[in-house]
Amino acid sequence: MSGELNNTTFQDEGKAREWLEARLWPDGPVCPHCGALEASTPIATRASWYQCNACRKQFSVTVGTLFERSHIPLNKWLLAAFLICA
């Protein structure tokens, strides 16, 4: 179990966000507001944020999840979930 705790997903918030995006959006970003599949543009000034070309709303992978307005970094959430499940 200690080897899993050294996983880079748990050490960097950016890698945790990439991991969550790969799990929730295997075919690319999906707008949580209108459900558009391939109609989103990355926002250049906000890392990991997209703008839907259909409804024009901004979103990230955490919108609509329990992580949305959390002040706790995403990598700590994922580490806690791993420890609970292990």
* pLDDT computed for residue 39 by the predictor: 81
Total domains, the chain: 2
* pLDDT computed for residue 3 by the predictor: 54
Q: Are residues 30 and 50 in the same domain?
A: yes
Domain that holds residue 49: 26-60
Torsion of CA 58, 14, 17, 84, to 10 degrees: -140
- The answer to whether position 67 is within a domain reads no
- The answer to whether position 68 is within a domain reads no
* pLDDT computed for residue 57 by the predictor: 95
Q: Are residues 49 and 33 in the same domain?
A: yes
- The answer to whether position 56 is within a domain reads yes
Q: Are residues 30 and 56 in the same domain?
A: yes
* pLDDT computed for residue 5 by the predictor: 62
Q: Band the pLDDT of 4: cuts 50, 70, 90.
A: low
Which residues are registered as beta bridge partners of 49? Answer: none
- Structure-block tokens of residue 60: 């990230």
- The answer to whether position 66 is within a domain reads no
pLDDT single digits (tens) 27-75: 999 999 999 987 899 999 998 899 999 999 999 999 999 999 999 999 9
- The answer to whether position 78 is within a domain reads yes
* pLDDT computed for residue 75 by the predictor: 92
For residues 12-37, give the mean pLDDT. Answer: 92
